[in-house]
Structure formats: structure tokens, C-alpha cells
């Protein structure tokens, strides 16, 4: 019976190591949401402010943790209120824009699979508007880096711990049976 236990343990350990190595060397899945369009479009030159900024993704978004902030060339926010998520779109209203220059729409959305996706879209205002700016945008509000997604390394470390525990228990069992 001890040969059977030893062989079974070795087979289980080899299978576990192969599974862990496959996890280490496979690429990440690309099933997260991807930006497929925006209004105004990326790089667009516009003379007047739109009513809102809208971003469109390739799959439905979750409304949890959705952020869409428009920062003007003066370093101020220009969106009015909170963003709304509807299916594949996130939008935020504008009440005009101000100085001529580049406006950047910074976004952070949650994919249908729960993974956060962030980025930015920029457009240029070519004629000064009469909108009023919001609060000054500082670095702390634009660089939110807390990621609520589960990382692959967490599964790998957990798998290694489980394999080591199983190997330890089997080694103790075999040693006790020999004595």
C-alpha cells in the first residue's frame, strides 16, 4: 500500500506543478472591456462644447466605481455632476467649456467581468466658450491606482501553498507508516 501512496503522491505533485507552470507562462485573458468610441471623438477639434462626453465600450459596464472627469487646459474640471452608465456607455454632462485648448476625459470603469479599466480620451476646443470651470483638478484625483481586480499571482501563490501542504501531509503519512 505504501508504494501506491508514494506513486499517487508523485503523480499528484507532477500534475500540480504542471498546472502551476501553465498558469505562470500563459498570457492574460483579453476579455476586459475595451473603449471602441467616444463623443467627442479622440483627437477631435470642436468649436463649441457638446452637452456631454460619452464613451462607448465593447461590452456592458457595471455602474460600481464608474468615474468620468473632464479636465481642461486650465487644470480645472469641466463636467457637471456624476457620470451615468447605461449598457456599454458611460457619459457625463457638461455645462459649456472655457478656454481654447486640449480637454482630457479621464475614465475608470468596471468591466462585466469585474476588472477595472482606465484611460483617457482627449479633444481640442478651437473657440473659447463661456462655461464656468469646476474645482481644480489635482494629481491625487486623477491618479487613482487602487485596483479591485483579482490578480493571477494570487491564484499562483495559493496553488503553491496548497501543493506544499498536500506534499507535507503525504510525507508525514508515509513516514508514520514506515515506522
DSSP string, 37-75: EEESPTT-EESS--SEEEEEESS-EEEEEEEEEEE-TTS
In a domain, 163, yes or no: no
pLDDT tens per residue across span 122-176: 999 999 999 999 999 985 444 444 444 555 666 777 777 888 888 878 888 887 8
Q: Are strands 116-125 and 45-46 parallel, antiparallel or unpaired?
A: parallel
The residue ranges of DSSP E strands in 72-144, in sequence order, are 84-86, 89-93, 101-111, 116-125
Task: Please give the residue range of the domain that contains residue 134.
Answer: 35-142
Residues recorded for the chain = 179
In a domain, 57, yes or no: yes
Burial profile 155-166: b = 16 or more Cβ within 10 angstroms, e = fewer: eeeebeeebeee
Cell matching residue 108: 475608470
What 3-state DSSP class applies to 94? strand
* Weakest-pLDDT range from 30-39, 68-77, 79-88, 168-177: 168-177
* Domain CATH for 59: 2.60.40.1220
Residue 13 has what pLDDT?
62
CA angle 11, 27, 14 (to 5 degrees): 5
Strand partners of residue 108: 67, 118
Please count the structural domains in the chain.
1
Amino acid at each position: 500500500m505504501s508504494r501506491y501512496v508514494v506513486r499517487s503522491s508523485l503523480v499528484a505533485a507532477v500534475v500540480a506543478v504542471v498546472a502551476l507552470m501553465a498558469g505562470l507562462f500563459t498570457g492574460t485573458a483579453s476579455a476586459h472591456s475595451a473603449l471602441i468610441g467616444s463623443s467627442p471623438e479622440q483627437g477631435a477639434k470642436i468649436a463649441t462644447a457638446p452637452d456631454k462626453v460619452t464613451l462607448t465600450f465593447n461590452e456592458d459596464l457595471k455602474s460600481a466605481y464608474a468615474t468620468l472627469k473632464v479636465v481642461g487646459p486650465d487644470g480645472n474640471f469641466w463636467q457637471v455632476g456624476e457620470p451615468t452608465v447605461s449598457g456599454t456607455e458611460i457619459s457625463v454632462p457638461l455645462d459649456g467649456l472655457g478656454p481654447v485648448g486640449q480637454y482630457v476625459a479621464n475614465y475608470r470603469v468596471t468591466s462585466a467581468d469585474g476588472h477595472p479599466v482606465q484611460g483617457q480620451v482627449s479633444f481640442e476646443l478651437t473657440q473659447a466658450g463661456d462655461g464656468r470651470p469646476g474645482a481644480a483638478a489635482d494629481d491625487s484625483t486623477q491618479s487613482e491606482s487602487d485596483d479591485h481586480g483579482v490578480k493571477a499571482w494570487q491564484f499562483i501563490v495559493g496553488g503553491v501553498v496548497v501543493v506544499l501542504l498536500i506534499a507535507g501531509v503525504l510525507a508525514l503519512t508515509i513516514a508514520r507508516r514506515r515506522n
